[in-house]
Amino acid sequence: MSTPLSTTDPEIRTAIENEQRRQSEGMELIASENYQSPAVLAVQSSVFANKYSEGFPGKRYYGGQEYTDTIETLAIQRAKQLFKSDHANVQALSGAAANLAFYSAVMQPGDTILGMDLTHGGHLTHGAPVTFFSKVFNFQRYKTLPNGKIDFAQVRDLARELNPKVILAGFSAYPRELEYDKFAEIAKESWAILYADISHIGGFVATGILKNPFDYGFHAVMTTTHKSLRWPRGALLLSKGTVSNPLKKPEDTIEHIPTRIDRAVFPWMQGGPHMNTIVAIAVALKEAQTSSFFDYAQQTLVNAKLLASELLAYGYTLVTGGTDNHMVIVDFSWTQRNGAIAERTLDKIGISTSKSTIPDDPNPPFRPSGLRIGMPAMTTRGVKESWTKKIASFIHQALLATNDEEKLAQLREEVKEFCGSYPVPSIR
Ligand SMILES: *Cc1c(COP(=O)(O)O)cnc(C)c1O
């Protein structure tokens, strides 16, 4: 990299170069990671980084907004078109901030929200006791069946019993397509607001390869922008017009979700938006309409399914027995191994994965029984079927050689060589 940092700040320059090398020599199989395109990376350091623009297009608190309004309006239009929503807020700083804004937009403190149990695949921001918001709202949880799929009988019973204000469909560790129609049917009985957190699968929903919750009557959808979408780090809060409930008094009715979302993001939760991120998201939104983005999204799912079938052939057990999306969750609960040991072993050969709980995990959370493996990042780097098989073989060989440092060192060299053929997109 030819930045002036070489003379002004060599320590940071070295750290950047080291990270660049780590990313190119290693194999990224963390399901939530990806690589932004060179154009998108470059735009993030544009002059929009200098600009304060509290408010929304046409309604700002500072002057000089001709061009910020242009880019934010474009980002909003493109997001609405891509996800088929009536409204889009592109300002949330990340997924967690977006979820908190949505909860605050539609609920009062103490209101009940029904979401997926964390150990069964939900996200921390879906009410983990370690989060502040778990004290503000009443988070209740549904779980999965022994076959790993969502227990809709339980969702229905809980919804009848608790009359939740919001029913949340979404996950960080669940390898199956969500049955939005079933959530919608259940929500109808209690007039619950239907909210989908598609953070992990945004790229597949955007391309129409996985189902779009809006096609099933969902009122609002949140996606992070940096996972399967491979955009800058941020989030989109997408919504449909109104939810009116004739059974409730007008003042208790959510009259206008889009307005409430905008107000919750700013000024309730945030100050000035990160305009350099928003301009890069606008560029990425256009890239997402290209056939090469579609091909990436489709190839990712092909690769994930193939990885699943290869691992099954090697004798591994998978949560739900396979995958419909970009991730595979290996279940080590009946073996001598666990997810933490597997993660550490794979780290030794330069493969990044993440340990994960499995439904009703018999092991404690710091050494859970599962290992989550995702294909988006390596697919962005160009991996197709034959090399997916090779990846499965690397994983299997490493896990067989858990205590054989010599074999692991040899595999590390092979992984490094493999990765040399799949460069990381960068703006060198
Ligand atoms: C990643 C994720 C989030 C949080 O996003 P951050 O950008 O890390 O704050 C929220 N919900 C789900 C389902 C996620 O997977």
The yes-or-no verdict on residue 281 having pLDDT over 70 is yes
For residue 236, the model assigns a pLDDT of 98
User: What's the whole-number mean pLDDT along residues 386-401?
Assistant: 97
pLDDT at 306: 98
Strands (E), 315-380: 317-318, 327-331, 351-352, 354-356, 370-374
Torsion of CA 62, 68, 69, 72, to 10 degrees: -130
Q: Rounded CA gap, 180 and 188, in Å? A: 12
State which of 199, 201, 329 you would mutate to test the pocket of ligand 1, scoring each by most atoms of that ligand within 8 A of its C-beta. 199
- CA-nearest residue for atom 5, ligand 1, is 95
Cα first-last separation, the chain: 5
Q: Give tens-digit pLDDT for 12-35.
A: 999 999 999 999 999 999 999 999
**Average pLDDT taken over every residue of the chain:** 93
List the catalytic residue out of 52, 67, 314, 422.
Answer: 52
Question: Which of 120-134, 247-261, 398-412 is predicted with the least confidence, judged by mean pLDDT?
Answer: 247-261
Contact 227, 199 (CB under 8 A): yes
Instruction: Report how far ligand 1's centroid is from the alpha carbon of 4 (Å).
Output: 34
Mean pLDDT for 73-82 is 97
Which ligand 1 atom sits nearest the alpha carbon of residue 96?
9
- Cβ neighbors of 172 (< 8 A, separation 6 or more) are 32, 121, 122, 123, 199, 200
**Fold held by 299-420:** Aspartate Aminotransferase, domain 1 (3.90.1150)
In whole angstroms, how far apart are CA 318 and each of 118, 264, 331?
Answer: 18, 40, 5
Cα of 96 to ligand 1 centre, how many Å? 6
Taking the complete model, does pTM exceed 0.75, yes or no?
yes
Supply 373's token pair. 């493996």
Q: Residue 67: helix, strand or coil by DSSP?
A: helix
So what's the architecture of 42-287 in CATH?
A: 3-Layer(aba) Sandwich (3.40)
| Ligand 1-lining residues (CB < 6 angstroms) | 32, 94-96, 99, 123, 125, 170-172, 197, 199-200, 224
Beta-strand relationship, 193-197 and 220-224: parallel
> For this structure, is 54 an active site residue?
yes
197 tagged catalytic: yes
CA distance 221 to 197: 6
| Atom nearest to 170 CA in ligand 1 | 13
Domain locations in the chain as residue ranges: 42-287, 299-420
Of the candidate ranges 157-171, 218-232, 248-262, 352-366, the one whose mean pLDDT is the lowest? 248-262
Active site residue 407: no
Please give the single-letter amino acid code of residue 177: E
Q: Which helix (H) or strand (E) holds 133?
A: helix 133-136
Evaluate if residue 160 carries a pLDDT over 70: yes
Task: Return the pLDDT at 95.
Answer: 97
Residue 234 has pLDDT above 70, yes or no: yes
Residue nearest atom 15 of ligand 1, based on CA coordinates: 172
User: What DSSP letter does each residue of 150-200 carry, written as one string?
Assistant: B-HHHHHHHHHHH--SEEEEE-SS--S---HHHHHHHHHHHTPEEEEE-TT
Residues above pLDDT 90, as percent of the chain: 87
| CA 408 to centroid of ligand 1, rounded, Å | 33
Distance 168 CA to ligand 1 centre (A): 14
Distance CA 226, CA 200 (A): 9
* Options 13, 149, 233, 416, the catalytic residue: 233
Confidence band, pLDDT 50/70/90 cuts, at residue 252: very low
Model pLDDT, residue 148: 86
Contact (CB, 8 A) for 319 and 329: yes
Catalytic residue of the set 33, 72, 197, 310: 197
The alpha-carbon radius of gyration of the chain (Å, integer) is: 22
Q: Which of 25, 54, 69, 287 is catalytic?
A: 54
Residue 82 CA: distances (Å) to CA of 32, 203, 205, 238, 282: 21, 10, 9, 11, 12
